[in-house]
Amino acid sequence: MADVLIWLSQYGGWGLLAIAVILIVLFYDKLERPIARVYDLFRWAGAHWRRRAIKADIQSNVNSFSQSVDKEVPNIMPYNMKLKFVSEIDRAELLKDKSLVLVRIRDRRHDDKNFVHAMLTFCPVGVLPASRAYLDASLSDAIDFTVTRKFLNAIQYQGALNYLYKEVIEPETIENPDLDKLCTILDRLDEQGLFTKVVLRELRDFGAKVGSRYPTEAHKNETRQLVEYMDAVATRIPGEMMGQVGCQGACISMGFLFVGIFETIASQGAVPYLRHIQRLKAMQLETVYIAARDNNISMAERVSYLAERGNLAKRLKSKRYYASDILGRRRENILIEMQLIVAAPFAPPEQGMLLEE
């Protein structure tokens, strides 16, 4: 500390300036928002300062949002954005050897429009980068629209949301009913807390498993089947049995277990749910998501505990959160992700004792 004070006494204001420059370089990501506020004070000075202000504002908000999503589910949005205004068409590219997406957009001269188009240009490169080639065009666009809506909602930018709905999504969905259907499904999944936690997570893992193989229609069909299965999960009436037990393809292999029928819990405890996990193992599924709400959360945790203790599955992650149910009621949820453990050929439940029994 003494050496720093001596150095400052020798170089005075230049020393302070040098330290300020070093701090800005090292911590630019954290300083983007206050820098944007400084630029905003000079908007009146002309288009150059206005563009610098909105550029810094967009970058700071997008990067903060990306980091929060990637913290929840790693490698879904692994990159930061660097924005540049150009006179050409909107495009984005991943800079080699840098975890940075360079986004080039035309200046629309309205902040709300610039926010929307910057995020929509960023998404195809910055969201699910390893999986993009294996999604069909409608599903890819629907994911971009949903992520952009989540972003604008997170920063509470109603003007940009209105522009996104009226000027961007609505014309696209009128011409493409399939896109409209997918946007509705992903919106419903997001409302129930399943879009990021399950859909994007499974699509991320799909990209990792496929690697760099040549994209085929089979890949696109498999990712679409995942979304259709998750829509069945989201629209399922409580207590209703699903016709499709899980989603099983070449790379996607998962199923849901719903804990919530009072009569079953009261009379049989965890046994039926453990048997269902055995059934999923018999089908050679890789992952099971145990879901429950409100008073049934404790039973879901018990099922998870007994499944792990009985060497049926390994608990990977558990998340409690509040989300709306199919009737629009805000309720507490739990989602427990478990990896089903590969074992010897499956023995029917009646041939083996379960821990709860």
Which residues contact residue 330 at a Cβ distance below 8 angstroms, ignoring those fewer than 6 apart?
322, 323, 324
Q: How far apart are CA 21 and CA 27, in angstroms?
A: 10
Averaged pLDDT, 123-152: 97
pLDDT at 327: 85
pLDDT tens, position by position, 88-105: 899 999 997 778 999 999
pLDDT tens, position by position, 159-211: 999 999 999 999 999 999 999 999 999 999 999 999 999 999 999 999 999 98
DSSP-derived secondary structure for 63-109:
HHHHHHHHHHSTTSS--EEEEEEESS--EEEEPTTSSEEEEEEE--S
68-88 per-residue burial string, b: 16 or more CB within 10 A, e: under 16: ebbeebeebbbbbbbbebeee
Angle, CA 268 vertex, CA 263 and CA 271 arms, to 5°: 130
Average pLDDT of the chain to the nearest whole number: 86
Burial class (CB in 10 A: 0-12, 13-18, 19+), 40: middle
What is the CB-side half-sphere exposure of residue 158 using CA atoms within 13 A?
0
How many Cβ atoms are within 10 Å of 232's Cβ, its own excluded? 13
Determine contact, residues 90/117, Cβ cutoff 8 Å.
Answer: yes
By DSSP bridging, strand 253-259 and strand 287-293 are: parallel
pTM for the predicted model, two decimal places: 0.84
Q: Which residues pair with 333 in a beta bridge?
A: 293, 321
pLDDT at 61: 96
Determine contact, residues 287/254, Cβ cutoff 8 Å.
Answer: yes
**Pairwise pLDDT comparison (301 vs 240), residue with the higher score:** 301
Residue 299's closest CA among 341, 321, 268?
268
Structure tokens at 246: 């899980």
Q: How is domain 239-357 classified at the CATH fold level?
A: Translation Initiation Factor IF3 (3.30.110)
Tell me: pLDDT of 238 over 90. Answer: no
Averaged pLDDT, 285-300: 95
Tell me: pLDDT of 308 over 90. Answer: yes
